[in-house]
């Protein structure tokens, strides 16, 4: 529904509250809020890029100045990452799906790199911690060590309850073939990033 300033849209009747801005390049355009505790996580879509095994990058696009199209529980930014590259949030009672939709291989620039990566800046309130598999099980991320994982990332309140998670990233081609990707948590400067590689689209 229409949001209350500064937000353009909001969901307040699901198991979580969600607040969104319309313009994809407007910064922290998405805020997830746990209504019981008041704890929150914000997300800012960032660069879509090619990367290689040396962590070198070839940027494809930053979020564009595109207004969201709203259809019930869907926020859709056509050409949000440039021609043929669209971005979508789909809300449900228990989760939020983030989709990058690529019309065809021709919608991506040629590259010698082998991995497609989509980045988000995230900010967690003081009572939220990200838990990630470190090989011996889930542990709280220290917000400074770069960690790669092929498993879900959980966001927990100080009491241990899971209030949000990033599912294992998955990509599908036009024939429906599935590829499982990976995620990277990292700090750059004062900002925390989650990067979805290969999948998460």
Any bridge partners for residue 87, and if so which? Answer: 77, 100
pLDDT at 168: 82
pLDDT at 94: 63
Any bridge partners for residue 60, and if so which? Answer: none
Tokens for 79, please give them: 């050409």
Any bridge partners for residue 97, and if so which? Answer: 90
pLDDT at 197: 86
pLDDT at 200: 40
Helix (H, G, I), strand (E, B) or coil at 107: helix
pLDDT at 170: 87
pTM of the model: 0.89
Those residues of the chain that have pLDDT short of 50 are: 199-201
């Amino acid at each position: 529904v229409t949001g209350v300033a500064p937000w353009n849209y909001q969901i307040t009747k699901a198991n979580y509250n969600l607040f969104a801005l319309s313009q994809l390049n407007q910064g922290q355009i998405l805020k997830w809020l746990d209504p019981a505790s008041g704890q929150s996580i914000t997300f800012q879509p960032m660069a879509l890029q090619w990367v290689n095994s040396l962590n070198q990058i070839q940027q494809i696009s930053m979020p564009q100045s595109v207004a969201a199209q709203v259809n019930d529980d869907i926020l859709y930014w056509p050409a949000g990452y440039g021609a043929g590259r669209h971005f979508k949030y789909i809300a449900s009672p228990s989760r939020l799906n983030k989709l990058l939709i690529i019309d065809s291989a021709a919608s991506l620039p040629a590259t010698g790199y082998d991995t497609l990566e989509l980045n988000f800046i995230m900010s967690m309130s003081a009572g939220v911690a990200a838990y990630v598999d470190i090989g011996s099980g889930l542990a709280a991320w220290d917000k400074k060590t770069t960690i790669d994982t092929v498993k879900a990332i959980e966001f927990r309140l100080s009491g241990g309850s899971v209030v949000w998670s990033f599912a294992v990233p998955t990509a599908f081609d036009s024939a429906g073939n599935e590829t499982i990707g990976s995620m990277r948590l990292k700090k750059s400067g004062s900002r925390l990033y989650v990067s979805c590689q290969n999948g998460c689209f």
